[in-house]
Amino acid sequence: MAQTFDGLLVLDKPGALTSRDALDRAQRWFPRGTRIGHTGTLDPLATGVLVLCVGSATRLTEYVQQMSKTYRTTIRLGARSDTDDADGTVTPVEGAVPPTRERLEECLREFLGEIEQVPPAFSAAKVTGQRAYDLARKGREVSLQPRKVHVQSIDVCEYDYPAVTLEVRCGKGTYIRSLARDLGERLGCGGLVQVLRRTRVGPFRPEDAVPLDADPETARSRLLPTAAAVAELPVLTLPARAVTQLRQGRAVPLAERPADAAEHAVLDADGGLVAIARYDQRARFLRPVKVLRDNP
């Protein structure tokens, strides 16, 4: 039987490369037919952490996508772009007045917490079943609806007009290009992303990354356990008999009730991820939501 591979792989995506290009390079490290998926697109201009799920871990991509992200970005004020970044057609704003640092920081506070954000026209967001960037490239008008996103923090690292460098910590679905565009509009001077780097996804950092020029043996040795995909879920460790029941898709009675009914990562005695399960408080059973492949 051919060897199978399961787990997470962290890449540090270089600029001028799409997320799909990076994934295709990683695919060469594994046997033909190995499933691999990335957990959050980075624009070609952007660099940084791109987490791949390999094998059975592809069933857990949404848990990595839900992890908070940290970005370091340099925004150019005093200009606009049709793509909201430096890769597009950039148009300087005539008569733009440089905002003071005090005004900049005051405006940034308006973007904290839960906000509504319209994705860029050149994005993977869908319009009537089609990718927005496909329509935009054909010259079609793109009208996207605002979406709720959550921004935990924005810190000003450097400011020397027209460049402002920010560190942004945010949740799933946040577009830094939209943040740059909207910040520029509120300041009345325009804004676009000049530089963008994702420095963290949940616990994953660039220091964890496998170089894209690594050989297959090295890359495979850097696979992280599948359980890393659910590192932010509460954990339950069950004995062998209960593990077998969960693997069979059966509910398991628990002697001690969990603190809440949220989803839990269920581990076996060796720390291997068995399943994602939810506690049914009324029936007092742990019910499997997703069962992982038994791959010693």
User: What's the longest Cα–Cα distance across the chain?
Assistant: 72
Place of tokens 């740059």: 180
Quick check: 39 and 65 in contact, CB under 8 A? yes
CA distance 234 to 47: 31
Element (H, E) at 20: helix 19-27
C-alpha to C-alpha distances, 11 to 15, 52, 58, 78, 222, nearest whole angstrom: 12, 8, 16, 33, 11
CA distance 137 to 72: 27
Place of tokens 């005090």: 102
CA distance 38 to 15: 17
CA distance 225 to 9: 9
Quick check: 227 and 273 in contact, CB under 8 A? yes
Active site residue 6: no
Place of tokens 């059975």: 56
Active site residue: 12, 43, 87, 268, which one? 43
Task: Please give the positions annotated as active site.
Answer: 43
